[in-house]
Amino acid sequence: MKVYQHYINGAWVEPATREYFDTENPYSGEVWAKIARGSAEDADRAVKAAKAAFENVEWADMRPTNRGKLLVRLAEIIERESGRLGELEVRDNGKLIAEMSAQTKYLAEWYRYYGGLADKVEGAVLPSDRPGIFNFTRYEPLGVIGMITAWNSPLLLLAWKLAPALAAGNTAVIKPSEFTSVSTLELMDLVKEAGFPDGVVNCITGYGLEVGAPMVEHLDLAKVAFTGSDFAGQKIYETAAKKIMPVTLELGGKSPNIVFEDADFEAAVMGAISGIFAATGQTCIAGSRLLVQRSIHNKFVKRLVEVASEAKIGDPMLTDTHVGPVTTQPQYEKILHYINVAKEDGAKCVLGGKPFTGDGVKGNRFVEPTIFTEVSNDMRIAQEEVFGPILSVIPFDKENDAIRIGNDIVFGLAAGVWTSDIGRALRMSEKLKAGTVWVNTYRAVSFMAPFGGFKRSGQGRESGQESIKEFMQVKSVWIAHKTSAANPFIMQ
Ligand code: NAD
């Protein structure tokens, strides 16, 4: 069994505690690797190594073009290794191989895109209104960026942070989820192979409170880029506020997926299924509130139940599996809890609603795709993030009702709209309070498109050209054409 240490300053190092914990395969339940249990001491070592690397001329004076070349080289190596990385992700998080291998191949594009962008961040020469003074702006990196990721798509969530942060000239300390650390640790060897100087990228592992929180508190950290629950995100934000440290927060969601009577019926059914049952519902952008126009509600639910009940549940390593296991035991228990909550609050379960123990499944962590109808938007099952294969169907009458119900939630990560009316598509995309709105599609993401949340779903944006500036700060430089002994008591 492989034992993983921390990766600090270009070397594998023993954790200060000398303790390790198990990582298990969610499908089989078998323990297949041991992970270093990090502490404040390890966080301190890693942040100091990243700070030294940030200040070292090898990285600090490297031309942006050359940083970009390193990122492009890393993209090529990731592409070469994408099959292996995809399998590691599945062993650790139980998501489907079909999805994870596509994801690990695609993540190379973030490194390539930001590699290309590294030398294209331009300041400006300002048309100064002060005679005799030249003023220009320059964008500079922030310093050491702490990157904390969730367990559902470890390498993808990391690429959204690491690629722009390195392109901008920062250094990194990564803390992956305690449930799924292996793929990120394996990436460290690829970073080394690409030729990044030691200390530029570091990885420490362990539990959020034991190693993540001390890293966030570290005074040498310049920023935290976090993906995870709104609960942990709030704690991190509080710590950051004490230090006046910027953050990017990619948090939870309870996204409305809205189907109008004029939609392509079958496409909308598939979109609703993909919104909630893909990735076993363990995705921040899950379309977990399905708003269906009342005129087609019953017909739509009937077809939804038909299609969802055909989903093949089982081994995530098989390419024809549709729904895999739940990744973690606490998450499994949370899903079952919310099924009970929905029933207690009066929702009607029309599909699933219990653990799945049928043929072809190992382990003890499967939940049937579950659909609740007769849900009102104020029920807990409609307001709280479950992060599992549980769909709440809510009827609506008019377009304005869909907007009102869709926005009546603390979250604002994403929304889906299914309609054949282009005017309605435009109106809905304007009125829905979410960082992403999909029309007649769902779950599309790209390195080119900004991603992030409104309201309690987060702060800042990842991906797209602008996000590189989330890892930079602008400096305004004033240069007098000639020196003069001006009156020092008057503003120039
Ligand atoms: P989580 O908040 O429990 O943990 C996320 C990470 O934060 C882990 O690495 C954990 O160890 C660390 N952590 C926890 N408490 C911490 C603290 N006080 N200080 C520092 N680090 C801490 O979330 P999770 O269960 O791993 O992931 C599921 C959540 O992530 C869901 O809410 C989901 O919506 C969200 N998510 C959001 C996005 C997005 O892009 N918006 C993407 C994926 C997942």
CATH number assigned to the domain comprising residue 104: 3.40.605.10
Structure-block tokens of residue 1: 């069994």
Please report whether residue 452 resides in a domain.
no
Query: Per-residue pLDDT for 358 more than 90?
Result: no
Angle at 491 (CA atoms; ends 486, 492), nearest 5 degrees: 55
261 CB contacts (<8 Å, ≥6 apart)? 293, 295, 296
Q: In terms of domains, do 282 and 424 share one?
A: yes
Please report whether residue 111 resides in a domain.
yes
Q: In terms of domains, do 273 and 168 share one?
A: no
Q: In terms of domains, do 279 and 404 share one?
A: yes
C-beta atoms surrounding 55 within 10 Å: 12
Domain of 192, in residue numbers = 2-251+457-476
338 CB contacts (<8 Å, ≥6 apart)? 380, 381, 384, 386, 388, 390
Q: In terms of domains, do 261 and 246 share one?
A: no
Q: What span, in angstroms and rounded, lies between the C-alpha atoms of 315 and 98? A: 12
pLDDT digit string (tens) for 13-50?
A: 999 999 999 999 999 999 999 999 999 999 999 999 99
Bridge-based pairing of strands 454-455 and 411-412 is antiparallel
Please report whether residue 447 resides in a domain.
no
**Cα torsion 249, 254, 259, 260: sign:** negative
Ligand 1 contacts CB of residue 203 (under 6 A): no
Ligand 1 contacts CB of residue 148 (under 6 A): yes
Q: In terms of domains, do 201 and 119 share one?
A: yes
Q: What span, in angstroms and rounded, lies between the C-alpha atoms of 35 and 50? A: 21
Nearest CA to 48 among 140, 141, 139, 146?
146
pLDDT digit string (tens) for 101-112?
A: 999 999 999 999
Looking at residue 460, its pLDDT comes to: 97
pLDDT digit string (tens) for 309-319?
A: 999 999 999 99
pLDDT band of residue 422 (cuts 50, 70, 90) is very high
Judge whether 195 and 115 are in contact, CB under 8 Å: no
Ligand 1 contacts CB of residue 213 (under 6 A): yes
pLDDT digit string (tens) for 389-420?
A: 999 999 999 999 999 999 999 999 999 999 99
Burial class (CB in 10 A: 0-12, 13-18, 19+), 32: middle
The pLDDT mean for the chain works out to 96
Catalytic residue among 284, 368, 385, 470: 284
Phi–psi pair at 259, nearest 5 degrees: -110, 120
pLDDT digit string (tens) for 244-287?
A: 999 999 999 999 999 999 999 999 999 999 999 999 999 999 99
- Minimum-distance ligand 1 atom for the alpha carbon of 451: 40
Looking at residue 487, its pLDDT comes to: 85
Distance between first and last Cα of the chain: 67
310 is an active site residue: no
19 is an active site residue: no
Structure-token match 């599909």, residue found: 351
Catalytic residue among 79, 81, 89, 250: 250
Q: In terms of domains, do 213 and 356 share one?
A: no
Looking at residue 491, its pLDDT comes to: 84
Q: In terms of domains, do 18 and 167 share one?
A: yes
Ligand 1 contacts CB of residue 249 (under 6 A): no
Q: In terms of domains, do 223 and 362 share one?
A: no
Q: Residue 328's domain is classified under what CATH number?
A: 3.40.309.10
In the chain, the number of structural domains is: 2
Query: Per-residue pLDDT for 211 more than 80?
Result: yes
Q: What is the pTM of this model?
A: 0.96
